[in-house]
Chains A and B, each alone.
Chain A
Amino acid sequence: MSAAAYAGRRLLAAVPLLLVVSVAAYALLYRAADPEARLRRIPGVRAEDVERLVRQQGLDQPWYEGYWQWLTGFVRGDWGVSTANRGVDAIEPIADALPATVELMLLATVLSAVLALVLGVVSARRPHGPGDTSITALTHLGFATPTFLVGVLLQLAAIRMRDDGWAILPFLAGVVVMLCSLGAALRGGRIGRAAFAAGLVVVALSVALWGRLGGDGQVVFYTQQRFSFGSEGDVLSVDHLQHLVLPVLTLALVNVAVWTRFQRASMIDALRADHVTAARARGIPEWRITTRHALRASLAPLVTLVALDLGIMFSGAVVTESVFSWPGMGRLLRDSALSRDVNVAMGIVMIGAVAVVVANLVADLLYARLDPRVDLGNRRR
Chain B
Amino acid sequence: MRGRGLARRVGWAGWTGVAVLVVIALACLVGPELSPYGPDEQDLAARNQGPGWEHPFGTASLGEDVMTQVLVAGRISLAIGFGTALVATLVGAALGLLAGWRGGWVDGALSRFAELFLIVPAFVVLIVLSLTFERVGVAEVILILAVLSWPPLFRLSRASALSTRETAHVEAARAAGAGGGRILWRHLLPAATPEVASFAALAVGVAILAESALSFLSLGIDPDGDPSWGTLLIGAPDTIEDRPWLTVFPGLAVVLTVLAAALVGDAVRAALDPRSPGARAPAGERPSS
State whether the Cβ of A301 lies closer than 8 Å to any Cβ in chain B: yes
Q: Can you list 30 A-B pairs with a CB-CB distance of less than 8 A? A: A14-B119, A21-B116, A21-B119, A24-B116, A25-B128, A28-B128, A143-B259, A144-B205, A144-B254, A144-B258, A145-B254, A146-B254, A146-B255, A152-B247, A258-B281, A261-B281, A269-B277, A301-B281, A316-B123, A318-B289, A319-B217, A322-B217, A333-B127, A334-B217, A338-B131, A349-B120, A349-B124, A352-B124, A353-B119, A356-B120
Cβ A147 vs Cβ B288 within 8 A: yes
**Proximity bits, A144-173, B CB within 8 Å = 1, else 0:** 111111001101100100000000000000
- Determine how close the nearest CB of chain B comes to the CB of A179; give it in whole angstroms: 12
State whether the Cβ of B15 lies closer than 8 Å to any Cβ in chain A: no
State whether the Cβ of A18 lies closer than 8 Å to any Cβ in chain B: yes
Chain B's closest residue to A120 (CB) is: B281
* B interface SS class: helix
**Proximity bits, A17-52, B CB within 8 Å = 1, else 0:** 110110011001101100000000000000000000
State whether the Cβ of A140 lies closer than 8 Å to any Cβ in chain B: yes
State whether the Cβ of B135 lies closer than 8 Å to any Cβ in chain A: no
State whether the Cβ of B236 lies closer than 8 Å to any Cβ in chain A: yes
State whether the Cβ of B68 lies closer than 8 Å to any Cβ in chain A: no
State whether the Cβ of A122 lies closer than 8 Å to any Cβ in chain B: no
List A contacts of B122 (CB < 8 A): 312
State whether the Cβ of A141 lies closer than 8 Å to any Cβ in chain B: yes
Cβ B255 vs Cβ A141 within 8 A: yes
Known pairs A265-B279, A269-B277; list 7 more (Cβ under 8 Å): A25-B128, A146-B213, A254-B288, A255-B289, A258-B282, A333-B123, A338-B131
**Proximity bits, B242-267, A CB within 8 Å = 1, else 0:** 00100100010011101100110000
Cβ B289 vs Cβ A317 within 8 A: yes
- Taken together as a complex, chains A and B put the C-alpha atoms of A20 and B120 apart, in Å, by 11
Partner pick for A318 among B217, B240, B256, B284, CB 8 A cutoff: B217
Partner pick for B127 among A147, A334, A353, CB 8 A cutoff: A334
State whether the Cβ of A348 lies closer than 8 Å to any Cβ in chain B: yes
List A contacts of B258 (CB < 8 A): 143-144
Q: How many residues of B contact A (CB 8 A)?
A: 47
Chain B's closest residue to A20 (CB) is: B116
- Determine how close the nearest CB of chain B comes to the CB of A155; give it in whole angstroms: 7
Cβ B236 vs Cβ A148 within 8 A: yes
State whether the Cβ of B219 lies closer than 8 Å to any Cβ in chain A: yes
State whether the Cβ of A57 lies closer than 8 Å to any Cβ in chain B: no
List A contacts of B212 (CB < 8 A): 146, 148
Interface core residue of A159, A255, A330 (most chain B CB under 10 Å): A330
Partner pick for B119 among A264, A337, A357, CB 8 A cutoff: A357
Cβ A149 vs Cβ B124 within 8 A: no
State whether the Cβ of B43 lies closer than 8 Å to any Cβ in chain A: no
Partner pick for B281 among A24, A153, A262, CB 8 A cutoff: A262
Cβ A337 vs Cβ B131 within 8 A: yes
List B contacts of A264 (CB < 8 A): 279, 281
- Determine how close the nearest CB of chain B comes to the CB of A43; give it in whole angstroms: 25
A17 with B131, Cβ < 8 A, contacts A143-B284, A146-B209 known:
no
Chain B's closest residue to A357 (CB) is: B119
**Proximity bits, B40-73, A CB within 8 Å = 1, else 0:** 0000000000000000000000000000000000
Q: Identify the B interface with A (CB < 8 A).
A: 112, 115-116, 118-124, 127-129, 131-132, 205, 209, 212-213, 216-219, 233, 236-237, 240-241, 244, 247, 251, 254-256, 258-259, 262-263, 277, 279-282, 284, 286, 288-289
- Determine how close the nearest CB of chain B comes to the CB of A381; give it in whole angstroms: 9
List A contacts of B120 (CB < 8 A): 21, 25, 349, 352-353, 356
State whether the Cβ of A90 lies closer than 8 Å to any Cβ in chain B: no
State whether the Cβ of A127 lies closer than 8 Å to any Cβ in chain B: yes
Cβ A334 vs Cβ B280 within 8 A: no
State whether the Cβ of A323 lies closer than 8 Å to any Cβ in chain B: yes
State whether the Cβ of A315 lies closer than 8 Å to any Cβ in chain B: yes
Q: Identify the A interface with B (CB < 8 A).
A: 14, 17-18, 20-21, 24-25, 28-29, 31-32, 127, 140-141, 143-149, 152-153, 155-156, 159, 251, 254-255, 258, 261-262, 264-266, 268-269, 301, 312, 315-320, 322-323, 330, 333-334, 337-338, 345, 348-349, 352-353, 356-357
List A contacts of B118 (CB < 8 A): 356
A159 with B216, Cβ < 8 A, contacts A258-B284, A264-B279, A265-B280 known:
no
Partner pick for B131 among A32, A155, A316, CB 8 A cutoff: A32
Partner pick for A147 among B247, B259, B289, CB 8 A cutoff: B289
List A contacts of B131 (CB < 8 A): 28-29, 32, 337-338
List A contacts of B124 (CB < 8 A): 25, 315, 333, 348-349, 352-353
Chain B's closest residue to A315 (CB) is: B121
- Determine how close the nearest CB of chain B comes to the CB of A250; give it in whole angstroms: 9
- Taken together as a complex, chains A and B put the C-alpha atoms of A352 and B287 apart, in Å, by 14
- Taken together as a complex, chains A and B put the C-alpha atoms of A93 and B65 apart, in Å, by 44
Interface core residue of B119, B129, B241 (most chain A CB under 10 Å): B119
Cβ B262 vs Cβ A334 within 8 A: no
Partner pick for B286 among A18, A149, A258, A348, CB 8 A cutoff: A258
Cβ A319 vs Cβ B216 within 8 A: yes
